[in-house]
Amino acid sequence: QLKGVDCESAVTHALEAGYRLVDTASIYKNEEAVGAAVRRWEAEHPEGKRIWLESKCSSYEMGFDHARAAFEATLQRLGKDVLDLYIIHWPAVAKKAHGSPEHRLARRETWRALESLYREGRVRAIGVSNFTASHLSQLIEDGIEVMP
């Protein structure tokens, strides 16, 4: 989890090498550095291939209101108006017992927040990370509108 100038340098070198997908997450605490490198690259290469930028909603940011606020903070740190992909990073709420029913509710409410951001055009795609088939089945059972 690189931060600061080391992160900016690594992202810049990756873009120079041809990478066009840049992945970060709020929990990595490097969105500012990633955003700075991407914005600088885009300014220096206006005719270049578009960079796909993605970030993740952490297990500390789950729930409808928390996820929306986390997304806004991510956009601000990245210096972007729209994000290419925003995903739920982990299928459980931080610091809750493994079997807690709060996890399912948090997944559903967080997904609802991502769906709303998608419908509003704030993010081009939404998804999940580290989910099992059971977690996905529960989301579907809970009546999601946009499939991950």
Q: Among all residues, which ones are annotated catalytic?
A: 28
Q: Strand, coil or helix: what is 17?
A: coil
Asked whether the beta carbons of 22 and 14 are under 8 A apart, the reply is yes
Which of 66, 70, 69 has the alpha carbon at shortest distance from 56? 70
Give the DSSP letter of residue 129: S
The neighbour count for residue 111, using CB atoms within 10 Å, is: 24
- DSSP for 40-67, please give it: HHHHH-TTSPPPEEEEEE-TTS-SHHHH
Which residues, including other chains, have CB under 8 Å from residue 32's CB and lie 6 or more apart? 77, 78
C-alpha 72 chain-centroid distance: 11
